[in-house]
Structure 1
Amino acid sequence: ELCGEIVLADIGIPDSVVNDLIPRTFENKPALWLGNLPVPATDAHKYKRGHAGVFSGGPSTTGAARLSALAAARAGAGAVTVLSPADAMQINAAHLTAIMLRRTDT
């Protein structure tokens, strides 16, 4: 009732063709890709795993940068820094933990 009129129409594909199709689909789950992720050495320093820098927008546009920074950390970057304009520093600082914050004037 919330989507409007639903129309189901035959587009002319014979049943014999549909029955011969072999789907090539898979469920995206850790078993599919977990073995391909690198495992850091137990003595590896964070800077050996890369340092991601994410530029933040102004005070009303900081959310995407914070989400990107968290994604970089979760994906395995050793260190992550949000580069923030001066007027957005307090907003970013109030929302970031485990992410470094630096002021940038560009």
Structure 2
Amino acid sequence: MYSEELSHMLYAATGMVLVPSIDEPCGLAQMIGMRYGAVLIVRKTGGLVDTAFDMDDELHVEMANGFSFEALARAFSRYREKPNEWNDVSGKIMEIDKSWNKTSGKYLGVHNFIRVKG
């Protein structure tokens, strides 16, 4: 039996969301996980590439929210050895604006730019 309520309770109770999909067109699982502060562990494919950013990427520290699936051992090591840092990232993930308001505003900006230039 599928239960939406139970599904969200499971996401809320976890510290990581593992999405090992070979082919993931959009990646809804990690979006739900991020709502509850879960650190992402994903394959570099489809929509997963657009939403999961490595916690050890020194060039994009502000976007860091997970690890690639290939770095599973590194993720578990970080969880065990740096729990405070892990909790900080988890809190940061929950603060990310994933709403359509932000996305639609960007779309309108591009649309207006093209219309004016066109």
Comparing both structures, which one devotes a greater share of its residues to strand? 1
Q: Same fold (TM over 0.5)?
A: no
Larger Rg: 1
Scaled by the length of structure 1, the TM-score of the pair is 0.32
Scaled by the length of structure 2, the TM-score of the pair is 0.29
Comparing both structures, which one devotes a greater share of its residues to helix? 2
